[in-house]
Amino acid sequence: MATVYTARQPRVGSAGGFGCGRRVPGASLPGERMGTRKKVHAFVRVKPTDDFAHEMIRYGDDKRSIDIHLKKDIRRGVVNNQQIDWSFKLDGVLHDASQDLVYETVAKDVVSQALNGYNGTIMCYGQTGAGKTYTMTGATENYKHRGILPRALQQVFRMIEERPTHAITVRVSYLEIYNESLFDLLSTLPYVGPSVTPMTIVENPQGVFIKGLSVHLTSQEEDAFSLLFEGETNRIIASHTMNKNSSRSHCIFTIYLEAHSRTLSEEKYITSKINLVDLAGSERLGKSGAIIALGDQKRDHIPFRQCKLTHALKDSLGGNCNMVLVTNIYGEAAQLEETLSSLRFASRMKLVTTEPAINEKYDAERMVKNLEKELALLKQELAIHDSLTNRTFVTYEAMDEIQIAEINSQVRRYLEGTLDEIDIINLRQIKEVFNQFRVVLSQQEQEVESTLRRKYTLIDRNDFAAISAVQKAGLVDVDGHLVGEPEGQNFGLGVAPFSTKPGKKAKSKKTFKEPLRPDTPPSKPVAFEEFKNERGSEINRIFKENKSILNERRKRASETTQRINAIKREIDVTKEALDFQKSLREKQGEYENKGLMIIDEEEFLLILKLKDLKKQYRSEYQDLRDLRAEIQYCQHLVDQCRHRLLMEFDIWYNESFVIPEDMQMALKPGGSIRPGMVPVNRIVSLGEDDQDKFSQLQQRVLPEGPDSISFYNAKVKTEQKHNYLKTMMGLQQAHRK
């Protein structure tokens, strides 16, 4: 049975009594509530003797306290301080107590708690010969005098019988520690010594265990007893063959319990162990320092690992287990020094607090079985649901390769725009669709890389076929002009792959905005077209609006200039006519005679006309000046808008089709323009003035081939310059008049 998790819960109420949430009545130790901190229970058992020191050892009426009084003559030889009276208060003093009573008092509750999942430890401590082994093992030849150990085994099997709701297994081990060596008293091999059965103490989250120690499954009381006796026999044989002094060895008999509810839905199970420890004679316990340390409240750290005994018992000493100490003492005056020392130890141990906790584990096999059941049930539910909603065609099984390939194909067609929608069938399929999106996109990224390396080549400006392909691919600039450098040597632009054609992209663009860009980054001019329809649409609209205002003002300015020129010509003509009239009059000498200037009607009309023309001229001229100011302002706005548009586009382009730097380097054939590196200001290389005329010219010119562009461009520029000069000269002449 696999164990996946162990919880040592400090709270008991949550899952007492084999995970049933109930505790066995009377299971707690006397006067204690489980789950709260409690003390180690310390008892004293006095070995019966005919020579009991009545005048030195007195028991309290409460049967818990014991007073020691030293006679002076003894004190001189035995104790080296002045104190002669001691009083010890313990959990019970067992004098002339039967094995039966000792078990009832000391062990019964610890054992029943073990069946509820609490570890328990019962230790016998005391001077050699004081009755530790008698208390723990008892007389093996006399049933009545059997000790705690066989009685504990009996109780365990009796309780198992009383608890048919649980399947409980019992295992036992018997460990001897002698001179810091570990011996397996239940080794199936003939006893030969530690070198053959090397054992180590191992700690893991589940607790401490001894690697190499044999642990025996026992299904009935009798088997358990056999093991116990075998262990006792081995103990005696070993002490002879190894020439051991048995008073120096610690013996730990451990009962391991594991309880599973017979209710299969119960996934928790309980484990526990009961350690029954027969310690070496206390007169030699110097090495078991930690046992002493447990009784010393001032010590924060208990050196468990310092000796094998405390290390092996680490998870069963104090801490979260029920712990009982039986101190075996002599009742005779001659042993009073050791008796006193043992009682001091007992009263120190009584101060040690423990917090017993259940060892709960989860039965992984059972959990899997329960989950399988749950899954089967839910599948049935789903089948019913599907039949009610006419979804019987839906399957919920894992997809095979063919189904996954079909989804991959759907995703590809969807991205290409040849598939409108991917129908949703079930969650598994949706997850696979997303997965395939990732697969397709990463494939396309790789394709882009290799495509870029292969496809971007320079196009000669005289290669009309290539240029026409460029045009087809939509390489047009901000105003819809073909992009290029009229003065340059090469177009230096990449041929955009056909998959980036705006028409093809339209579908996927609508459905998936930013994350699903076409597989290959389009060239900047192509992308610019897209940008103008997308994120740049608003700024582009403003740009166009400003430009149309500018063009309209320019047109008006040009019309005004023409009118001014016409007026100027009229003025000139009128002036000539007037001069002629004047010269006629001079010949006649009329106004010399009269001393008056006589103006005939024709001349008068001419003067009026001239005056009117000059007025018109000034008004028109003023209009022109206003228009020019407006044009200048509009030009400024248009420039700003264009700048914004290109800047935003650059950001957008980098965001959408950024090409890694290392790739740009790889694409660097001798410093020509490369995709992703086309300087924005070179996309729109024509001046605004030129573009107005140029846009009209283009329709006319393009059939002749792009070669003619620079020709017409130059022509327009020259014409404009000429017109401008003419206008300026005309205006200057008019001013001088």
If contact means CB under 5 to 8 A according to the sort of partner, which of Mg ion, ligand ADP, none does residue 437 touch? none
Whose tokens are 């007025």? That residue is 615
Nearest distance from C-beta of residue 126 to ligand ADP, angstroms: 6
Q: How far is the CB of 368 from ligand ADP (least distance, A)?
A: 49
Instruction: Give me the 7-46 binding string for ligand ADP, x by CB under 6 A, dash otherwise.
Output: ----------------------------------------
The stretch near ligand ADP (CB under 6 A) out of 123-131, 180-188, 268-276, 585-593 is: 123-131
Least CB distance from residue 312 to ligand ADP, whole Å?
19
Query: Distance between CA atoms of 9 and 388, rounded to whole angstroms?
Result: 47
Q: Are 133 and 376 in contact (CB under 8 A)?
A: no
**Distance of closest approach, residue 137 Cβ to ligand ADP, in angstroms:** 8
Decide: 431 and 404 in contact? Cβ < 8 Å.
no
- Considering only residues 126 to 145 of the shown chain, the ones binding Mg ion according to CB under 5 A are 132-133
Phi and psi angles of residue 601, each rounded to the nearest 5 degrees, phi first: -65, -40
CB nearer to Mg ion: pick between 10 and 129: 129
CA distances from 302 to 40, 232, 289, 347, 352 (A): 16, 31, 9, 18, 12
Query: Measured from the CB atom, is 126 or 706 closer to ligand ADP?
Result: 126
Say how far apart CA 529 and CA 682 lie, in whole Å: 15
Q: Binding segment for ligand ADP among 82-90, 124-132, 362-370, 377-385 (CB under 6 A)?
A: 124-132
Give the total of residues touching ligand ADP (CB under 6 A): 12
708: CB partners within 8 A, 6+ apart: 701, 702
* Cα 659 from Cα 674, distance rounded (Å): 11
Residue 341 binding ligand ADP, by CB under 6 A: no
Binding mask 168-197 for ligand ADP (x = CB under 6 A): ------------------------------
Cβ-based nearer residue to ligand ADP, 145 or 501? 145
Q: What is the distance between the alpha carbons of residues 433 and 439, in angstroms, rounded to a whole number?
A: 10
Of 362, 366, 354, 360, the residue nearest 116 (C-alpha): 360
Please identify which residue in 129, 212, 502, 730 interacts with ligand ADP, judged by CB under 6 A: 129
For Mg ion (CB under 5 A), the number of binding residues is: 2
Q: Among all residues, whose Cβ is closest to ligand ADP?
A: 131
Q: Which residue's beta carbon is nearest to the bound Mg ion?
A: 133
Q: Does position 332 bind ligand ADP by CB under 6 A?
A: no
Token representation of residue 723: 């017109």
Nearer to ligand ADP, 129 or 730 (CB): 129
Residue 708's identity, in one-letter code, is: S
CB-nearer residue toward ligand ADP: 332 or 485: 332
Minimum CB–partner distance for residue 41 and Mg ion (Å) = 21
- Contact with ligand ADP (CB under 6 A) among 17, 19, 117, 131: 131
Q: Under a CB-based contact definition with an 8 Å cutoff, are residues 56 and 336 in contact?
A: yes
Of 41, 47, 350, 553, the residue at the interface with ligand ADP (CB under 6 A) is 47
Residue 375: Cβ within 10 Å count: 10
Q: Are 574 and 610 in contact (CB under 8 A)?
A: yes
- The 242-281 site mask, x for binding ligand ADP (CB under 6 A), equals -----x----------------------------------
Instruction: Tell me which residue of 280, 262, 320, 287 sits closest to 133, measured CA to CA.
Output: 280
d(CA 169, CA 488): 94
The residues facing 328 across adjacent strands are 45, 126
- Is residue 143 a contact point for ligand ADP (CB under 6 A)? no
Backbone angles phi, psi at 94, to 5 degrees: -105, 100
Q: Enumerate binding residues for ligand ADP (CB under 6 A).
A: 47-48, 126, 128-134, 247, 328
Q: Enumerate binding residues for Mg ion (CB under 5 A).
A: 132-133
